[in-house]
């Protein structure tokens, strides 16, 4: 996907996630967060819950003692804005009962 302002479909984001999972786990974590948002926004609560769980699982593998360690590397993924920091607390705050 080359146009950063266009909102990616869930299928496009899932494809990106699979590629990133093999090459850049932090990028995959950011994409899992974006997938959780997109799924929630389209009303697919079950898929959103699955992507929240995937994001949280990936986050377990990263240190989170400093802001630098949890700072997102991108402002958005597939047109979905990312938080400045990505850690368990942010995910649980953003998704409430879906987390």
Model pLDDT, residue 6: 72
Mean pLDDT of residues grouped by 10 in the chain (99 residues)? 68 96 97 97 95 97 95 96 96 91
| pTM (whole model) above 0.85 | yes
Task: Specify the residue for token string 């090459």.
Answer: 23
Task: Specify the residue for token string 């850049």.
Answer: 24
- Rounded-to-integer distance, Cα 99 and Cα 97, Å: 5
Model pLDDT, residue 97: 86
Model pLDDT, residue 5: 59
Neighbour tally for 64: CB within 10 Å: 14
- Could you write out the DSSP letters of every residue in 19-58? HHHHH-HHHHHHHHHHHHHHHHHTT-HHHHHHHHHHHHHH
- Rounded-to-integer distance, Cα 21 and Cα 12, Å: 14
């Amino acid at each position: 996907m080359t146009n950063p302002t266009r909102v990616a479909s869930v299928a496009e984001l899932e494809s990106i996630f699979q590629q990133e999972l093999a090459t850049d786990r932090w990028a995959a974590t950011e994409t899992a967060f974006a997938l959780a948002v997109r799924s929630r926004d389209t009303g697919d609560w079950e898929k959103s819950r699955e992507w929240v769980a995937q994001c949280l699982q990936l986050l377990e593998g990263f240190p989170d003692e400093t802001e630098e360690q949890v700072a997102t590397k991108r402002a958005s993924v597939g047109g979905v804005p990312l938080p400045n920091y990505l850690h368990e607390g942010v995910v649980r705050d953003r998704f409430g009962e879906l987390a």
